[in-house]
Amino acid sequence: MKKHQPAHALIASLALACGLHASAAPDQIVYNATIYTANDALPTAEAIAIEDDRIVGIGDLITIQALADEETRMIDLEGRTVLPGLIDAHGHMKGLGDLQVGTLDLSGTTSYEEVIERVRQQAAELPEGTWILGRGWDHESWPSRKLPDHEMLSDIVPDHPVWLIRVDGHAGLANEAAMQAAGVDEHTQNPDGGEVIRAEGDRPTGVFIDNAESYIERAVPPEARGQTRDQLIAAQQMCIEAGLTGVHDMGVPPAQVELYRQLDEERVLKLRIYAVLPGNFAVRYFDQNDILITDRVTARATKLYMDGAMGSRGAWMIEPYTDRPTDDEGNPYTGLTVSEPEFIDFVARHGTERGYQVCVHAIGDRANRRVLDAFEQAGASDARHRVEHAQLLHPDDIARFASLGVIPSMQPTHCTSDMRWVADRVGDQRAQGAYAWRSLIETGVPIAGGSDFPVESHNPFLGFYAAVTRQNHEGQPEGGWQPDQRMTRDEALKSFTIWAAYAAFEEDQKGTLELGKLADFIVIDRDVMTCEPSEILNTRVLSTVIGGEWVFVAEE
């Protein structure tokens, strides 16, 4: 009579099909959940087995439970939904944290008067002469939709230098005291790649665009900017509570890379950080340092800027802006180049040769074309160079991303924030190339999803919602703005998981829930893959797990 196979032998025979290791019992098993893996070979599962920081089993409940022994922690998720840990492929950790520990948050203000009132309230609590820094105003949300003039701000807050960054980071407003501290007056010239907005008689209005922001930035004393360590820790807590397990942190100087390493050594760093150095540091840094890859910190990329932002009309266009066809001298106005294109060419070649990734901010159609040209000249289609934002594309350039192996790193909430005025900037025809997710995906290119926080909210479910609806939070416009460019929910999930991991050369370690990968996942209170689209906005993160460690558990 044939003997029955022992349980462990049966499990071993099912390992390939179900995804598990059959050696030692796991530390913990999570079960009774709807588990979305982002892995096409096994799209959903019933349970996950974890040993140390890795997934050692994933599949049906009976098979995974059979791995347990008396010391395995069994975690009943009571029917909740599990997703792979979400990765924001474009954020600014220091900027996000600074809004918690120093900088005045102006997001959500709906008028210039409201901005000034918030500044006045802070000024009343500070010694005279103290700098006031703020961020988040958006004149497109004001009744006038006009860029501000400093005079009202200077009249109400005359005794404190004030510097307020626009929501996109590509424009700032200074009051009279700040301009005096910076030595700016009617004789100040526009820098290359920047503009001082002026009124009659060349009087500065206080608005500085792109590279002109440096006039005020360099006058801000270091003590006004707060402590980077405090900012990063505050930002980390916000991210893990929002369901992020990884962030591609853009514009991280070498000193901050070292701070991340220190926080990792102290076991304070829980997030997985892909640190992207500013372009002006890249060549020297990577000539002097090897690529850094640790469990929590990677430094193998740089970020440069080709142009500014569309909201402040600094994006570089092929044709003039529809709502500003000429500049103050009557010449065709097509935006700004904030870096010399030849410098982009040089760094692209250097990165390709030295093996680090080059990420370039490009928003206007001409900026995107010029960056793709630089990557084409640099060669190496396996370098995974990236265009950050890729917001407005000429139809002729869409297929070039896939053919060149270039990754578009895009932020869905930019679409739903900007759709109100995109056609005003470039006209209806060119607007068809704005946030062209479907057109890009159909060429076979992965889109790395992010938010550009603190420009937008760090909440990834707002980006997920924007990706699948192309609507604002009120469900407008009906049917979505240019709805043919929407992502499916499966694509949106991949954009914030495996495609973002691929954009950091990390697809073998994270981005999907499968055997051998890092145990990075989140537990949420609803099934975002099937619920009504509007319900996605209300998603609550119940737990965030990074490397098997439950780094956040929401209070009941």
* Residues near 280 by beta carbon (within 8 Å), at least 6 away in sequence: none
pLDDT at position 157 is 97
**472 and 539 assigned to the same domain:** no
Q: Are residues 459 and 540 in the same domain?
A: no
How is residue 126 annotated by DSSP?
Answer: S
Structural domain includes residue 390: yes
> Around Cβ 331, how many Cβ atoms within 10 Å?
10
Give Cα separations from 308 to 82, 154, 207, 415 (angstroms): 38, 27, 14, 16
pTM of the model: 0.89
Give a yes or no: residue 339 inside a domain. yes
Last residue of a domain, one of 491, 509, 527: 509
Residues 445 and 344 in one domain: yes
**Sign of the C-alpha dihedral, residues 254, 257, 261, 266?**
positive
Q: How far are the Cα atoms of 90, 392, 394, 500 from residue 435, in angstroms, in the given order? A: 16, 6, 11, 17
Task: Give residue for tokens 């492929």.
Answer: 89
- Shared-domain flag, residues 472 and 545: no
| Encoded amino acid at 183, one letter | G
Pair (317, 443) in one structural domain: yes
How far, in Å, CA of 205 to CA of 201, rounded?
Answer: 11
- How far apart are alpha carbons 59 and 56 in whole angstroms? 10
Q: Is the dihedral of CA 134, 139, 141, 143 positive or negative?
A: positive
Q: Indicate if 350 and 221 belong to the same structural domain.
A: no
Is residue 313 one of the residues assigned to a domain?
A: yes
Task: Please tell me the total number of residues recorded for the chain in this structure.
Answer: 556
**Count of domains for the chain:** 3
Do residues 309 and 458 both lie within one domain? yes
**What is the rounded distance in angstroms from the CA atom of residue 252 to the CA atom of residue 292?**
13
CATH at 412? 3.20.20.140
b/e per residue 293-307 (b: at least 16 CB within 10 A): eeebbbbbbbbbbbb
Structure confidence at residue 251 (pLDDT): 96
Answer yes or no: do 350 and 433 share one domain: yes
Which domain range does residue 555 map to? Answer: 1-85+511-556
| Pair 234, 106: CB distance under 8 Å | no
**Domain check: are 464 and 349 in the same one?**
yes
Identify whether the C-beta of residue 34 lies closer than 8 Å to the C-beta of residue 525: no
Q: What is the pLDDT along the chain (556 residues), one digit of tens a residue?
A: 233 333 333 333 344 344 554 457 999 999 999 999 999 999 999 999 999 999 999 999 999 999 999 999 999 999 999 999 999 999 999 999 999 988 999 999 999 999 999 999 999 999 999 999 999 999 999 999 999 999 999 999 999 999 999 998 999 999 999 999 999 999 999 999 999 999 998 999 999 999 999 999 999 998 888 899 999 999 999 999 999 999 999 999 999 999 999 999 999 999 999 999 999 999 999 999 999 999 999 999 999 999 999 999 999 999 999 999 999 889 999 999 999 999 999 999 999 999 999 999 999 999 999 999 999 999 988 999 999 999 999 999 999 999 999 999 999 999 999 999 999 999 999 999 999 999 999 999 999 999 999 999 999 999 999 999 999 999 999 999 999 999 999 999 999 999 999 999 999 999 999 999 999 999 999 999 999 999 999 999 999 999 999 999 999 7
Residue 250 lies in a domain: no
DSSP for residue 38: S
Here the CATH number for the domain that contains residue 33 is 2.30.40.10
- The pLDDT of residue 23: 57
pLDDT of residue 102: 85
| Domain assignment of residue 279, yes or no | no
Q: Classify residue 156 by its DSSP letter.
A: H
Centre a 10 Å sphere on the Cβ of residue 230 and count the other Cβ atoms it contains.
Answer: 14
544/550 Cα distance (integer angstroms): 6
CATH number at residue 217: 3.10.310.70
Contact yes or no for 347/282 (Cβ under 8 A)? yes
Give the span between the Cα atoms of 552 and 322, in whole angstroms.
Answer: 48
Query: Pick from 125, 118, 130: which is nearest to 160 by CA?
Result: 130
In angstroms, how far apart are the furthest CA atoms of the chain? 103
End residue of a domain, out of 171, 195, 225: 225
Domain check: are 428 and 462 in the same one? yes
Q: Pull the structure tokens for residue 58.
A: 């994933």
Residues 345 and 211 in one domain: no
**CA dist., res. 278 & res. 245, Å (int):** 23
Does 286 fall in a domain? no
Considering the domain boundaries, does residue 289 fall inside one?
Answer: no
Assess if residue 272 is contained within a domain: no
Which residues, listed in sequence order, are joined to residue 549 by a DSSP beta bridge? 546
DSSP 19: T
Cis geometry, peptide bond prior to residue 320 (ω within 30 degrees of 0): no
For residue 447, give both structure tokens: 């889109």
Helical H segments across 496-542, by residue range: 498-502, 533-536
pLDDT of residue 7: 34
Same domain, 530 and 492: no
